[in-house]
Amino acid sequence: MKPDFESINVIGKNLFRNNAKMVAASEVGYRIAQEQNMIGIRVDASAGQNKLRDIATGKDFVNLCSCSYLGLNSHPAVLQGGIDALQSQGITGLAMAEYRIRLSVMEELEQELRDLFNGPVLPAISCSALTAGILPLLASGHLTDGEPMVMVFDKCAHFSMAFIKPIIADETLVLNCPHNDMMYLEEICKKYPRVAYICDGVYSVGGVADLAALLSLQERYGLFLYFDDSHSLSVEGNNGEGHIRSRLAALNDRTIIVASIAKAFGSTGGIAMLGSEKHFEFLYRAGPLGWSQSLRIAAIGTTLGSIKVHKSAELHTLQQQLTHNIALFDRQITTLQRGNGLNIKVVEVGDQGKAVHLSKALYEKGFYCSPVFFPIVGRDRAGVRLMLRGDLPAEIVQSFVDQLKDILRKMDVQH
Ligand SMILES: *Cc1c(COP(=O)(O)O)cnc(C)c1O
């Protein structure tokens, strides 16, 4: 049989992604950072995140770019959990689909997560794997009544979700919503009977989803809500359940919250908090969750270890220290994120060259903040991004602020 060529044209439609545009735009800034040796830094981490050693220069520095917002990635209970699990099980993993045979420690982990977050929680090797597994099934209507849903992505939804758009577009209509534009979303809800909205809970470049408006749309139109709350898990909530979950009394069957447990949670992998036991059973075999590896034993162990910390008074102590550090920073440095209660800050300086200069000058003083530029932030809004942590002593934050102010003054940038 002869292949049925529709056209000899091999240019894609670029409806939902455009590498030619994006790679070209991001390469420029990347190259500047590379020339200045501000990426690709190799370190020894044995003295912790507040004292990373640069192998090339032998100099120590404070890492202000880690998403391990409470320092649980080096907590003794978390490390010990991994060691204990490996030793007691004597296997790195079963290396097969979890839905066929699952280890009893996995079951134990699921029970612990259920207790901690008060409902069914699906663990997986990463938050991105969960999103890749869940979104296409949500799109085709398999988590609701079987009819396809219009999938509306917030313009700033994390790459791990935006990445799935072309797959979903094969199942249904995909729309992009201007960032947090609830009027736009309501128009879509009025027009179509089945709509899902995909967004971050807390955004990696600052800001949060408009939860009150979203809940109102859910109540009035049955809007399905898919949140990625990777940046606030562990950081917010009595049990570290995150920004969105801590504001909901219960999860209904039209809401899903996914999050990475490789960030503040201090382990590795991802979780999906579900409002329905049926979703839990069904999603266990969804796409990459069925054919990819499952959480390795070491990761199950470090996750169990982190749950212990989450259940102890120490979680609140670390959360409070983080709140204190945020206030300390906000009192002295103006950013768009000032006063929003979040630990992610972007100090804007304008163009890419200036952003790299600031990042480099701070590094010379012993602080690493990453330069960020398009497409992470808008074209003329380059700067450095930093994340405050709960395992940072206030003195370190203050000395960082002093250095930052001094450098900004010399650069003639308002702060
Ligand atoms: C870091 C991050 C991810 C990726 O998490 P993995 O567990 O590594 O897949 C996904 N979503 C958001 C919002 C993130 O910040």
310, 340, 368 - which closes a domain: 310
Q: Do 138 and 37 fall into the same domain?
A: no
CATH number of the domain to which 154 belongs: 3.40.640.10
Examine the domain organization and report whether 163 and 186 are in the same domain.
yes
Residues in the chain predicted with pLDDT less than 50, given as ranges, are: none
Specify the ligand 1 atom closest to the Cα of 158. Answer: 13
Q: pLDDT tens for residues 47-93?
A: 888 999 999 999 999 999 999 999 999 999 999 999 999 999 999 99
Distances (CA, A) of 18 to 13, 172, 352: 9, 20, 22
**Tell me: the pLDDT tens digits for 116-129?**
999 999 999 999 99
The confidence score (pLDDT) of residue 6 equals 67
Domain span at residue 361 reads: 5-65+313-410
Asked if residue 160 and residue 13 are part of one domain, the reply reads no
Q: Is 302 exposed, middle or buried (0-12, 13-18, 19+ CB in 10 A)?
A: buried
Please indicate, yes or no, whether residues 238 and 331 belong to a single structural domain of this protein. no
Residue 161 burial (10 A CB sphere; 0-12, 13-18, 19+): buried
Residue 150, strand partner residues:
195
End position of a domain, from candidates 310, 334, 363: 310
Between the CA of 405 and the centroid of ligand 1 the distance, in Å, is 31
Tens digits of residue pLDDT in 302-355: 999 999 999 999 999 999 999 999 999 999 999 999 998 999 999 999 888 899
Report the DSSP beta bridge partners of residue 198.
153, 226
The reply to whether 70 falls in a domain is no
From 310, 338, 354, the end of a domain falls on 310
Distance 27 CA to ligand 1 centre (A): 22
SS3 percent helix, strand, coil of the chain, rounded to 5, is 40, 15, 45
Kindly state whether residues 292 and 203 are assigned to the same domain: yes
- 125 and 174 together in one domain: yes
Residue owning the nearest CA to atom 15 of ligand 1: 230
First to last CA, the chain: 68
Q: What is the pTM of this model?
A: 0.94
Mark whether 148 and 285 lie in a shared domain. yes
Asked if residue 273 and residue 200 are part of one domain, the reply reads: yes
Query: Measuring CA to CA, how many Å separate 211 from each of 75, 216, 244, 273, 323?
Result: 32, 9, 7, 17, 21
Q: In the structure, which protein residues have their CB atom closer than 6 angstroms to any atom of ligand 1?
A: 126-128, 158, 160, 200, 204, 228, 230-231, 260, 262, 270
Residue 45 lies in a domain: yes
**C-alpha 14 to ligand 1 mean position (Å):** 24
Same domain, 44 and 180: no
Instruction: For residue 197, give the nearest of 175, 212, 216 by alpha carbon.
Output: 175
